[in-house]
A = this chain, B = another copy of it.
Amino acid sequence: MKNLLIASTSTVYAGEYLDYLTKEMAALFKDTEEVIFIPYARPGGISHDAYTEKAAKAFTKIGKKLIGLHTFENPVEAIKNAKGAFTGGGNTFVLVSALYRLELMQPLREAIFKGLPYMGTSAGSNICGVSMQTTNDMPIVYPPSFKTLGVIPFNLNPHYLDPDPISKHMGETRETRIAEFHTQNTVPVVGLREGSWLRVKGEEIILKGELKARVFEQNKEPYEVESGTKFSNL
């Protein structure tokens, strides 16, 4: 049975790294002392070691040991044997490129379908969708494919931002960008605002956190859904 926590962001405004998710993390990883950390998204180009250290600090608060996947000689075996996994945010192109290069995409997908408790934030959440094609990140490396884990049947737009009504900036809004995605693709998109997350248990996907989410379907007006909504039709 799938068991995931898919968060828009790692850190809410004025908060500490992962602090707002502590309770949820403790519940997700209740059956293991050790969680594998997937550090490949490298926010700001941080090293795998430094990123793992940062994330490990947050996990000590729930009494768990976090081990960087980059420290294993055979990362595919490490994922197969894992009892929990967390993929941190950063650049989705860098993350997806690394997962393909290390041939981890398929084993990670299989492990999640078999019940591996998985947590993602930002880029680590993006990869749960069908493709990474609604990421906000810059294409700083060229991945072999935009296809991602597909453990939920839609795409995500993390850090979803509403249009600023007083902005004089003429670049596209997030909503315009997602509308453009739907001129080329049929996959629905859930815009997750800061502090929102999805809790996946088996085929049930529930919106959590205080805010609404914005849902985008091809050839439909975008609409808002309340916290607590089950995404059973997407």
List chain A positions with a Cβ less than 8 A from chain B. 9, 11-14, 42-45, 90-91, 93-94, 132-142, 145-146, 158-159, 161, 168-172, 176-185, 194
Taking a contact as CB atoms under 8 Å apart, the answer to whether A133 and B139 are in contact is yes
Q: Which of A12, A134, A170 has the most CB of B within 10 A?
A: A170
Q: List 19 A-B contacts (CB under 8 A).
A: A9-B171, A12-B170, A13-B170, A14-B168, A44-B179, A45-B180, A91-B180, A133-B138, A135-B139, A136-B138, A136-B172, A138-B181, A139-B146, A140-B181, A158-B171, A159-B170, A159-B171, A161-B169, A169-B194
Taking a contact as CB atoms under 8 Å apart, the answer to whether B45 and A177 are in contact is no
Chain B residues, Cβ within 8 Å of A93: 139
Chain B residues, Cβ within 8 Å of A170: 9, 11-13, 159, 194
Taking a contact as CB atoms under 8 Å apart, the answer to whether B44 and A183 are in contact is yes
Chain B residues, Cβ within 8 Å of A13: 168-170
Report Cα–Cα, A170/B12, bound state, in Å. Answer: 7
Q: Which of A12, A142, A145, A178 has the most CB of B within 10 A?
A: A142
Q: Nearest residue in B to A176 (C-beta to C-beta)?
A: B44
Report Cα–Cα, A12/B145, bound state, in Å. Answer: 36
Taking a contact as CB atoms under 8 Å apart, the answer to whether B135 and A180 are in contact is no
Assuming the A-B contacts A9-B170, A12-B170, A170-B13, are A177 and B138 also in contact, with contact meaning beta carbons closer than 8 angstroms in the complex?
Answer: yes
Taking a contact as CB atoms under 8 Å apart, the answer to whether B44 and A180 are in contact is yes
Taking a contact as CB atoms under 8 Å apart, the answer to whether A42 and B134 are in contact is no
Task: State which of B140, B146, B184 has its C-beta within 8 Å of the C-beta of A185.
Answer: B140
